[in-house]
A and B are shown apart, each in its own frame.
Chain A
Amino acid sequence: MLRRPFFWIIALTIAVFVAAPAIGDDVEMRESLALAAVYITLASNLNLMLGYAGYINFGSIVFFGLGGYICIWLVSSYSWSLGASLVAAGIGVSALSLVFGFGILRLRGPFFALSTIGIVEGVQAFVENFTPWGGSSGIYISPQVFLPLGGSARALWIIYFLFVAVMGASLYLSYVIKTSKFGLGLLAIGQNEDAAAILGVPTPRYKALAYSASAFLPAIAGGLYFFKGAFIQPSDAFDLTLSTEAIVICMLGGQGTVTGVALGAYLYEELRGYLLTSSTFSNFQLVIAGVLLLLIVLFFPSGLMGFVYSRFPRLQRVLE
C-alpha cells in the first residue's frame, strides 16, 4: 500500500489541511478548509453511488442531517462523549440506509432519483414531528459540552482535525472500494446493470451495500458539523441545496474518479467562498452552480479529471 502513489496523495492532502491553518493559527483559513473537507466528504461518498454504481442520489443530505441529529441527541440527552456519539451516528445511519437501500434500489434511473428526494422530504417531516428531537424548533446543546475538549477555542481545533480525518477516510474508502472486487461489481452495475447481473454480480446486495457505505462518513461529518454549531434544526439538517451541490461537485471533478471529485469539491468551495463574499455576486452562488452544471454536462460530461484521464490514460493508472 505504501508504494501506491494514491496513498501519498491522501497523506499529503491531509498534511496540508492540518498544517496550513495550524502553523499561523489562522482561524479564517481553518473555517474555509473545514467546509472544503465537508464538501470532499459528501461528494466522495456520493460518488460511490453516482460515479461507481451510476445511481443519482439527490438525498445524500439525509445521511448528513440524520447523523447530526443522532449525535446531538446523544450528547444532549444522554451526555454521551463526542467520539461515541459520532460512531453511533455513523453506524445508526448506515444501518438505516441499508434497510432503505434494499427498498428503493429496486427502482432505476429517474425513478430512483425521485425516490431519494422523497426520502429527504419524508425524513424531514418525521423529524419535524418527533418531539424527542425538538420537532421543528430543533435541539440546542449548551456550550458546556465543549468543556471535556478543553474549552471552545480548543474544541474548534479538535473538531477541525476530526473533519480532516473524516475527509481522509472518505478518500481512502473511495480508493479502496474502487480497486476492490466490490468496486468492479459496482462499476459493472453502473455501465449496464442487466449485463452485470447476468455475469453474476449480485446487484441488489451490492447496490444496497454501496448505498449504506456511502452513508457512514457523511453521517459522522454531519455529527461534527452540528456539534460545532451546537444547534440543529430540520431545515438546516435536510437542506436539499447541499445534496445538489454534492452532485455538481461530482460532475465538475469527474464522476467515478477519486482525485477528480476531491479536486472538484475544493474548487467548488473556493468558488463558492469567493461568490459569497464578493459584493457583485453574492446570492448568485446557486445560479453559477447551475450554469456550471449545464456547461459540464454539455461540454465535459466526464468532468475535469475524466477529461484529463481520457487525454493521459497512463496518469489514471498511476493516480487511481
Chain B
Amino acid sequence: MTAMLELDHVSKRFGGLQAVRNLSFAIQPGEILGLIGPNGAGKSTLFNLINGVFAPSSGKIVFNGIDITGERPFIVARHGLARTHQIVQPLTNMTVLENCTVGACFGRENLPLNRARDMARAAAHTAGLDDSIDVLALNLTIANKKRLELARALAAQPKLLLLDEVLAGLNPTEVEHMIGVIRRIRDSGVTILIIEHLMQAIMSLSHRIVVLNYGEKLAEGSPADVARNPQVIEAYLGDPKLAAELEGTA
C-alpha cells in the first residue's frame, strides 16, 4: 500500500533559522496522525511546506504517489489536499455557504457551481454550521469560524486533511463536539494530519504521533509509546504536570 503522504528528508531554512530539519515520516491511508511539539517546533511551517505556501529548501514531498514538492497551493489543493489555519482565514464578506462553495468549486472534484453548493451545504452540516449558513463569515463567533475552516476544507472532498489547531480557543463542550466531527470525517475515509496542543484530545484521536522539537523529529509511535518516551517527557514536556496528564490518558 502506498503512503498517503510521504516526507523524505525535508528541510526548510529561513535565513539563519532552521525551521524544519531533515524530517521524514509517512502517513498511511485512513490514519489520523498527530503532530505535537512545543511552540516554534516547526509544526505550522511543516503544514505550509506540505500544501505549498513555502517550497522546502531540500527534500521531497510525495502525496498519493505524486511529487508535490514546491508546487503552488492551488495545485496541491486540486490533487486533494485541504487544510485549516491556526489563525482563521475566512473570506470575511462572504456567507458561510459561499465560503464552503469556494472550497467545493476549486477542490479535488473541481465541481460546477450548482453541485458545489450542494456539497458546501453538506460540509457545513457535517461541521455543525447548519444554523449559520447565510451568515457573513465576519459575523461568526470564534468557535464557528473554526468550524468554517473545517467545513470549507471538507467541502473540497480531500483525500488528506491537515488540521492546524482546530480545537484551540473552544470551550470543553465545543471540543467534545469537534472531536466527534473529526472522528466522523476519518470514518468517511479521509486521512488526517492534525496539529494540536490539547494533549488529551490528540492522544485519544491519533493512531500515531510524531513529536517535533527544534524542527527535528524527536519521536514517533503510538500515543502510549510517545507518552512514555523519556526523551519526549524530558525535552518537550519538561513540566511534570503535563507528563502526568499524558500518563493518565495513555
Chain A residues close to B by CB (< 8 Å): 180-181, 184-185, 187-188, 191-192, 194-203
Contacts and interface: CB of A to CB of B under 8 A. Distances in A.
Given A197-B72, A198-B83, A202-B74, A187 B94 contact: yes
A180 B113 contact: yes
B106 A201 contact: yes
Given A184-B101, A184-B105, A191-B94, A200 B78 contact: yes
A200 B156 contact: yes
Contacts of B107: 199-200
B92 A199 contact: no
Contact of A198 (B73, B98, B101): B73
B91 A192 contact: yes
Contacts of A181: 105, 112-113, 116
Of the listed residues A180, A188, A194, the one surrounded by the most CB atoms of chain B closer than 10 A to its CB is: A188
B152 interface: yes
B2 interface: no
A195 B148 CA distance: 13
A192 B89 contact: yes
B64 interface: no
Interface in B89-111: 89-94, 98, 101-103, 105-107
Nearest to B158: A200
B23 interface: no
B74 A201 contact: yes
A180 B114 CA distance: 10
Given A187-B94, A192-B90, A199 B103 contact: yes
B113 A197 contact: no
B94 A194 contact: no
10 contacts: A181-B105, A181-B113, A184-B105, A185-B102, A188-B91, A198-B85, A199-B106, A199-B156, A200-B103, A201-B106
A196 B91 contact: yes
Interface in B51-82: 51, 53, 72-74, 77-78, 82
Contacts of A192: 89-92
Nearest to A180: B113
Contact of A203 (B53, B74, B92, B102): B74
B188 to A, nearest CB: 20
Of the listed residues A181, A187, A192, A196, the one surrounded by the most CB atoms of chain B closer than 10 A to its CB is: A181
Contacts of B85: 195, 198
A84 B143 CA distance: 58
A187 B91 CA distance: 9
